[in-house]
């Protein structure tokens, strides 16, 4: 069997038997098609551990990040495991291959509280001084503020925000239902009155009876506000204010870090972020070194000692 034929079978398996999400399937397509380009003339039983070694080496040569390389290898492992399970190959070449790929431990990039305050102050100033509050431009501004407020209030992922449905927000109760990775559901409450009032205003502006779109955040064409559009929106205000590069994920990191600095138990933060493992959340304990220094300078009992002559 050719590699191309085997890949078609694997894609069918991922789509209809494993029932993977469309986003995962797109990622699989990219990685498996890249592998196909390299070995398109090969029969599957002829691909050896040495071919796989060369392929991984090429990924390094093309300067892919370790995280990306690990993902591409994980897809290939799933592919060859499938081939072995279906007895399309006798031996999985990955069984004879030892790979140790260690990612550099980078702390998540966050926004400082004062930076978030600058962004929101700017946006509310634009909103409060908008001359024509019946215009579509005003509606879009309110939507932008709502997007940022939800990012900061809940620590939601940009994909979760973009795909948020109208029926998943109960403004009266201040509750947002989020379906995260692996379709795991979590509930987050919004308690700030200003944010809740903004959500009510947005709902009146966008969610009229004529609007049959199920998504909560909409673009100018009445379609859901896409992940890329949310990123572009943030970069627009970043340029206006002359700030450093801002991404939606930085609000998620800031949400976790600032709550941790306020003494919130890490397990509550884990639950709010939708992390399956506490070890994923624990990275934020390393980010709070700056806050720790402030606390020790201000609160440590040793500060009252003075033995200098």
pLDDT digits (tens, 9 = 90+) for 210-225: 667 899 999 988 899 9
One of 72, 143, 252, 253 is an active-site residue; which one? 252
pLDDT at residue 245 is higher than 80: yes
The pLDDT value recorded for residue 168 is 93
Residue of 209 and 151 predicted with greater confidence: 151
User: Could you confirm whether 275 is annotated as catalytic?
Assistant: yes
Q: Are 229 and 132 in contact (CB under 8 A)?
A: no
Q: What is the pLDDT of residues 59-107, one digit of tens each?
A: 888 878 888 888 999 999 999 999 999 999 988 988 888 877 776 666 7
Answer yes or no: 165 catalytic.
no
The distance of Cα 280 from the centroid of its chain, to the nearest Å, equals 13
Which is the catalytic residue, given 72, 143, 253, 275? 275
Given this model, what pLDDT does residue 286 score?
67
From the list 157, 215, 237, 253, the catalytic residue is 157
Res 208: pLDDT: 61
| Better-scored residue on pLDDT, 234 or 276 | 234
**Annotation says 253 is catalytic:** no
- In Å, what is the CA distance from 18 to each residue of 133, 183, 259? 49, 14, 37
Cβ-proximal residues to 138 (8 Å cutoff; 6+ apart), any chain: 127, 130, 132, 205
pLDDT surpassing 80 at residue 283 = no
Known active-site residue 122: no
What per-residue confidence (pLDDT) applies to 209? 52
| Confidence (pLDDT) at 291 | 65
Single out the residue of 99, 96, 94, 72 nearest to residue 82, CA to CA: 94
Q: Which residue has the higher pLDDT, 281 or 119?
A: 119
Q: Considering the candidates 70, 71, 249, 291, report the single residue annotated as catalytic.
A: 249
Least confident of 114-123, 219-228, 259-268, 284-293: 284-293
Backbone angles phi, psi at 262, to 5 degrees: -85, 0
Give all domains of the chain, ordered by start, each with its CATH number: 3-96 (1.10.150.130), 113-294 (1.10.443.10)
Kindly report the average pLDDT of the chain as a whole number: 88
More confident residue, 143 or 295: 143
Predicted local distance difference test score (pLDDT) of residue 114: 92
pLDDT at residue 7, rounded to an integer: 93
What is the band of 247 on the pLDDT scale with cuts at 50, 70, 90? very high
Decide if 95 is catalytic: no
Task: Please tell me the predicted confidence (pLDDT) of residue 296.
Answer: 72
Between the alpha carbon of residue 28 and those of residues 53, 66, 270, the distances in Å are: 20, 17, 28
| More confident position, 186 or 280 | 186
Given the residues 9, 109, 177, 181, the one annotated as active site: 181
Q: Assess whether 157 carries a catalytic annotation.
A: yes
Token digits for 227?
Answer: 């992940």
The confidence score (pLDDT) of residue 308 equals 63
Is 289's pLDDT higher than 70?
Answer: no
pTM of the model: 0.68
Split at pLDDT 50, 70, 90, the class of 279 is: confident
- Choice among 57-71, 128-142, 242-256 with the minimum mean pLDDT: 57-71
Whether residue 309 has pLDDT greater than 60: no
CA dist 70 and 47 (Å) reads 19
């Amino acid at each position: 069997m050719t590699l191309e034929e085997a890949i078609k079978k694997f894609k069918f398996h991922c789509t209809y038997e494993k029932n993977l999400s469309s986003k995962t399937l797109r990622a699989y397509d990219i990685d498996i098609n890249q592998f196909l380009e390299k070995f398109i003339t090969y029969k599957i039983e002829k691909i050896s551990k040495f071919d796989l070694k060369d392929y991984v080496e090429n990924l390094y040569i093309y300067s892919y990040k370790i995280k990306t390389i690990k993902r591409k290898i994980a897809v290939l492992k799933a592919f060859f495991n499938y081939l072995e399970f279906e007895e399309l190959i006798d031996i999985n070449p990955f069984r004879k291959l030892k790979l140790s790929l260690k990612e550099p431990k980078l702390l998540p990039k966050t926004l400082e509280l004062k930076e978030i305050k600058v962004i929101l102050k700017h946006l509310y100033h634009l909103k409060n001084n908008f001359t024509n509050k019946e215009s579509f431009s005003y509606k879009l501004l309110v939507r932008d503020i709502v997007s940022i407020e939800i990012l900061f209030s809940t620590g939601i992922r940009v994909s979760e925000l973009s795909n948020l449905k109208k029926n998943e927000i109960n403004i009266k109760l201040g509750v947002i239902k989020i379906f995260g990775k692996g379709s795991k559901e979590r509930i987050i409450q919004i308690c700030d009155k200003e944010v809740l009032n903004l959500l009510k205003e947005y709902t009146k502006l966008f969610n009229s009876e004529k609007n049959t779109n199920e998504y909560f955040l909409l673009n100018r064409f009445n379609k859901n506000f896409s992940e890329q559009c949310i990123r572009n929106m943030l970069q627009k205000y970043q340029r206006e204010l002359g700030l450093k590069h801002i991404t939606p994920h930085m609000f998620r990191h800031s949400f976790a870090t600032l709550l941790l600095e306020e003494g919130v138990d890490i397990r509550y933060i884990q639950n709010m972020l939708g992390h399956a493992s506490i070890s994923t959340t624990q990275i934020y304990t390393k980010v709070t070194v700056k806050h720790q220094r402030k606390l020790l300078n201000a609160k440590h009992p040793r500060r009252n000692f003075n033995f200098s002559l």
